[in-house]
Structure 1
Amino acid sequence: MASVIRAGIARLGCPGSSNNLLSITVFPALSQSCGISSKSMRGGPRIPKAKPWPYQEKNYGVFQAMYDKTSHRMDENSKLILIEGPVAAGKSKLAKEIAAELDMLYVPPANMDSVFINDYGFDLRKLDDQLPEMCRSFDEKNFLRNPNHPLAAQFQIRMYMLRYSQYIDALAHILSTGQGVVLDRSVYSDFVFAEAMHKNGYLSKGAHSVYHEIKQNTINELMRPHLVIYLDCPVDVVKKRIKARNLDYEVNSKVFTDSYLADMEMFYKQHFLKDISTHAEILIYDWTAEGETEVVVEDIERVDFDVFEEYFFNKKMKDWRFPLETEWCEARIKYCSDKHTLMNYFNVPRFDVPELLRDPEGGKKWRDVWLNAPGMKYSKGYNADMGDKDLLTKNGAPLREGGIY
């Protein structure tokens, strides 16, 4: 059975395990106490301590905090877990199975569909032939086929923004419902892609500096995860799995070279895992031959998160230690109701990177085309052209001005 990694420092896997952990340095394990519990351990589904707050429909502000507190919803499974690893490692499958066993919410990886497919299902990529080249869509498939395109920089910054938005929603979910969340990749590992792109010439020096300026403005506003699970696969195995998936844009990609994949692995192991281990617990598995979800779940149950509560100045789990109920409520307000403020931190006034700019004529053309597309003139529920029937249709707020659009 695989052993737990403490504080980001690996322990040797036990003999006979199908999921041996990547060995770095042997470190004595901490004493065990209450931790995350699975359905098997509990003998049934998780029973919420209190009725979840419908944070997606109802505002949560200072007034609501007076009568609806936060900490009473939290239990041992109110945790944020990240599943990380290289391309085609098997993250999604494991993340779904872990979430199901732990009664947590599974959040799929962010993708550009959430930018280009609007609330009515209209794909805005259909409008590309009406737009100047620098105003057209550019998604994962475009990048894998043409990584040297000037829009690659904008694409990577948008991906960071999407993962950031997704992470805020995950925090809002935990604090409002008490249910844990399993994220399939995250904003914290996004820089791995940016660095690999920069090193391989797909991200210019200027765009690279803008990316890190944005990251510096935003990342410290978040509460870091409780647990990171990293699936380790060597480059040759990753390439075989990419080939086995048989997706044209991946198999024939100019991006997935030995150099690019090796750089991703290096940045993951030498930077991401090292940095995140100062706060979160880490489990690392050799996933070359994949492994058993049951073994991973058993290892998760052995992680003692409560031990860090004993030492207030311990950096481990520091983001989740709030002595006062008001601090729990303030955090919940921040992620439930003040998300727009956090997203405004992406507005970095940099005009020295040409690939991140649009000329005035192109910008006007983009607005004329996009904001007159089906379902794009007003917010959802206010578009008569899409069949919405509301007396306030003409007063609907204009949709998608600024931000990632």
Structure 2
Amino acid sequence: MSKVICIDGVVGSGKTTLAELLEKKLNLKLYNELANRDTEVLLDKFYRDRHRWAFTMQIHFLNERFRMIKEVHKNGGGLLDRSIFGDKIFASMLHEDGYMSREEFLTYSTLLDNMLEHTKPPMLMIYLKCSVEKAVENIQKRGRAYELIVPQVYWKRLNEKYTQWHRDYQVSPLLEIDVDQQDILLQQDAVLEIITHKIKNLEQ
């Protein structure tokens, strides 16, 4: 089994922070969600004009995540700080809010379903459970301009979507880390120990 580990959770939960720690701990390559310069450019455009850029942004993310998970399996392992398996969370919310038309959402959903038919599951999905307050605090600390203009109600709804996704997830083994209870940086040794123990059990 390829050692493919996905990390998912609401924006600001600490996915990349944890992925960078695991990259060193496990000696696995990190496939970073924001590695493509076009991604940040599109995010900035999207947050400033969601009606215009919602569909384009979702197709871009979907394409990138599909490319990355294929690459990580091809190379025998790696870390992903966002997963294709949670991609629909954003699209469904955008559709509900009127930023993606019915036709756009159906096109996106059909494409996602086709991709998932050819997508191998990860060895482990790590879900970062995070309160809205903690997520917003982290978002403000890192200071990305396009995130700072987003109202808190958006992050609250997004977190509700992630909570439901986490409850329904059955694609692979799942490990939940409550980052309100175990700060990734302040308690990194304990967090990494939980994860490495889980991986060892899966490898047996």
Give me the TM-score of the superposition, normalised by structure 1. Answer: 0.46
SS in 2 for 1:290: coil
CA distance, structure 1, for counterparts of residue 159 and residue 96 of structure 2: 13
| Whole-angstrom CA distance in 2 between matches of 1:204 and 1:112 | 27
| CA deviation vs aligned residue, 1:20-55 (integer Å, no higher than 9, x gap) | xxxxxxxxxxxxxxxxxxxxxxxxxxxxxxxxxxxx
Taking a change above 3 Å as real, the CA distance of residues 290 and 199 of structure 1, as seen in their structure-2 partners, is farther
Hey, what does 2:92 align to over in structure 1?
Answer: 195
Asked if 1 retains the 8 angstrom alpha-carbon contact of 2:39 and 2:61, the reply is no
1:234-313 aligned within 5 A: 234-252=131-149, 256-271=150-165, 273-276=166-169, 278-288=170-180, 290-291=183-184, 292-303=187-198, 304-306=201-203
Q: Is the 8 A contact 1:200 1:260 kept in 2?
A: no
- Aligned partner of 2:14 in structure 1 is 90
Structure in which a larger fraction of residues adopt strand? 2
Query: Taking structure 1 as reference, are residues 241 and 301 closer, same or farther at Cα in structure 2, changes over 3 Å only?
Result: closer
Runs of 4+ displaced beyond 3 Å: none
Summarize the Cα distance change of 1:237–1:190 in structure 2 as closer, same or farther, 3 Å threshold: same
- Aligned partner of 2:61 among 159, 170, 187: 159
**CA–CA separation in structure 2 for the residues paired with 1:97 and 1:159:** 24
Once the two structures are superposed, residues 196-229 of structure 1 have per-residue CA deviations (whole angstroms, 9 ceiling, x without a partner) of: 2222222222211111111111111011011111
In the other structure, the counterpart of 2:46 is 143
Name the % identity. Answer: 26
Pairing of 1:27-38 with structure 2 (within 5 A): none
CA contact (8 A) 2:47 2:147 kept: yes
How many residues in Structure 1 have an aligned counterpart in Structure 2? 199
Q: Is the 8 A contact 2:54 2:100 kept in 1?
A: yes
* Cα distance, 1:184–1:279 mapped onto 2, change above 3 Å: same
Question: What is the Cα deviation at residue 279 of structure 1?
Answer: 3.6
TM-score by structure 2 length?
0.87
Matched residues in 1 for 2:145 and 2:171: separation?
Answer: 39
Structure 1 unmatched ranges of 5 or more? 1-73, 117-137, 175-179, 308-405
Q: Secondary structure at the match of 1:181?
A: strand
Shift of residue 161 of structure 1? 0.8
Q: For residues 197 and 227 of structure 1, what CA distance do their matches in structure 2 show?
A: 28
Change (3 A) 1:203 1:109: same
Shift of 1:300: 2.4
How far residue 247 of structure 1 moved from its aligned partner, in angstroms, is 2.4
Distance change >3 Å, CA 94–CA 190, structure 1 → 2:
same
Residues 307-386 of structure 1 aligned to structure 2 (within 5 Å): none
Q: Which amino acid in the other structure matches residue 140 of structure 2?
A: K
Match in the other structure for 2:37: 113
Q: Secondary structure at the match of 1:296?
A: helix
Structure ranking higher in helix proportion: 2
Q: Does 1:168 align with 2:70?
A: yes
Check conservation: 1:81, 1:227, Cα contact below 8 A.
yes
